[in-house]
Amino acid sequence: FQEDSQCVRDLIYLDIALEEVLRMLVEHNSGADTGVDQLAGLIGVVMDNFGLSRHDPEILCCFNQWCRLAENPGYDRDWCLQARSVLERMSRVLGSTVDYYDSMLQPKADHLGERFHADPWTVELFTQEVVRGSGAFILSLLAGYMEPALRKSAELGDWQVISHQEAAGRIVAERLVAVQAEKIDSPTIILTDRITGDEEIPPGVTGVITPEPVDIVSHVSIRARNAGILFATCYSRDIMDELHSFKGSVLRFWIDSAGHVNFEPEEAGKAFTGPEESGIDVPVLKCRRVKFESYAVASRDLDYSVAGGKANRLAGLRGRLPDWIRTPRSVVIPFCVCEKVMENLENNALRRSYDQLVRRVDEKPEEILPLLKEVIMQLGEPEELKSAFFSAVEAEGLVWPGGTGSNWDTVWKRIRQIWASKWNERAYWSRKKWGIGHESLIMAVLVQEVVDAEYAFVIHTNNPFTGNSDEIYAEVVPGLGETLCSGNYPGRAFSFICSRNGEFSPGILSYPGKSVALRGGGIIFRSDSNGEDLSNYAGAGLYDSVLMNPPADELLDYTEISLLWDEDFRNTFMCRVAELGMEIENALDGAPQDIEGAYSGGQYYCVQTRPQVG
């Protein structure tokens, strides 16, 4: 073929023609009233064809899972939940395909359109029309027909409410990340087409509505519940279109007893002005005062004068849990070590630069925040810090990669990265919103063993969706927990609820659709500031956690994941995770907990826990 250009051209034209025939056949044989079984068959064929047109290994992963589902086409609730997770993952692939076409073709279309004096509307539609003639469009069309049928069969409804609040405000369509640094003067409901999970909700926003699935444990979800802001995912395109038609108008939202979100036009003067007027107190928060105690301590020597709640709660669990629940060993770089290091003579010039930047940070935060981080990353370490650190490692019995004393350059870099995360953009804006002084926020660093997890999970011992204290809610992902808690890894987790009354009776809410699992072990460095355990303030997630050695990305083929296909293992796993949540809650005087854990080699671990907020 390489020597016969005419043959290659003919094959390309044949491929285009066959793609067009497939599109016409699908359009003529499918619609909103097509049955689930017929749609499932068509999706399999079109997904296979799409994989031949675009060489993306994730398409093959989706196709393999779809084929395995097709082997047992029960079309019951469990089947529909799995099918929905595959289609949500495929929708992200379709989105990236559209972006690829747009970046490749649209600049050329703009250039040629200008030279040919083409009508502007034809130029603007050029890439869209190319996409409409591709397998991506056909697959998107079928997925659009399939989604409402799956939701109906799985009895999921049109809404998932993350934060239950009544709200009113002017409707604005804008990505939340674009307005997070603003102070909005009038009550506003944001319609955002994208949620990363790391956004800060600015003052003046009374509600956030998105069509995207959102992790309940994400930073923005916790923020919304804590601040008394309506936050919900709407899966109905018709409802989202209706909401967009009200842009600029004021709507009132409320949630009925069945969990449905209702809305109606509201007079502008009756809109809430924010949490203060809806009976929710938003105080100015203050961090407790701390001082330099030592350069490093083992977990047995911990108290709240040297580290925050992460380290202290984990250390406090030892000896209070059954043997089947393990906790990782850890040491701490205490409060004020960063400030102590800055006082060293060799760091004097850096300290002066740092102080000047802190005084100016509110003038131009987007420019100065990276400079503050850069200053911290240039700090030189005192010899006492290294010797104290490895003494604490030996006292803890922490098995150190390469032997005690090795990898110090990497250790010192990771410590500074955690200190520098004090000036993360989302952390800065959160402190500004809640009146937390920058100078009062002091970092400590928790250095901890990493469980090389087969599965990582987060448990809320009170169901955060409903507030039901008789239900445990949990989310699970293959691999390390970073994909669960970070907005950098889109996709749904495996989630379930479990009754606490009598025998455990878990109920699956969703199957996983993450694209990537992170694999690795070793050592992790976590922030543990004095601002992460304030009452009614979700400080977790604002600052960084960094592995000493970066984890490996693994593209997930869910046909190989036993949690999806081994029912006995799945039921045992869910019950054991729920039991772990109850054991930790009981060990901490019955206070509802937000728990991070891991499963590896048949063993269950609690890697951290904090009081549940919201």
Q: Which residues are catalytic?
A: 219
Dist. CA 66–CA 558, nearest whole Å: 10
Dist. CA 126–CA 207, nearest whole Å: 36
Instruction: Determine contact, residues 583/595, Cβ cutoff 8 Å.
Output: no
Structure tokens at 171: 């409707």
Dist. CA 142–CA 151, nearest whole Å: 15
Report the SS3 class of residue 492: coil
Q: Tokens 């826990």 belong to which residue? A: 609
Strand-pair category, 506-510 with 494-499? antiparallel
C-alpha angle with apex 112: 110 to 117, nearest 5 degrees? 95
* Dihedral sign, Cα of residue 25, residue 27, residue 29, residue 35: positive
Helix 36-53, helix 57-70: angle, nearest 10: 150
Q: Burial, 107: exposed, middle or buried (Cβ in 10 Å; 0-12, 13-18, 19+)?
A: exposed
Structure tokens at 67: 């084929």
Report the SS3 class of residue 178: helix
Bridge partners (DSSP) listed for residue 447: 331, 525
Dist. CA 613–CA 3, nearest whole Å: 67
Instruction: Determine contact, residues 166/230, Cβ cutoff 8 Å.
Output: yes
Instruction: Determine contact, residues 534/613, Cβ cutoff 8 Å.
Output: no
Dist. CA 511–CA 85, nearest whole Å: 6
Question: Which residue intervals of 361-474 are DSSP H helices?
Answer: 365-377, 383-396, 408-420, 425-434
To the nearest 10°, the Cα dihedral for 50, 53, 58, 63?
30
Phi, psi of 545 (to 5 degrees): -125, 135
Helix 135-153, helix 77-116: angle, nearest 10: 150
Q: What share of the chain is helix, strand, coil (3-state, %, to 5)?
A: 45, 20, 35
Residue 135, number of CB atoms within 10 A of its CB: 24
Dist. CA 119–CA 127, nearest whole Å: 15
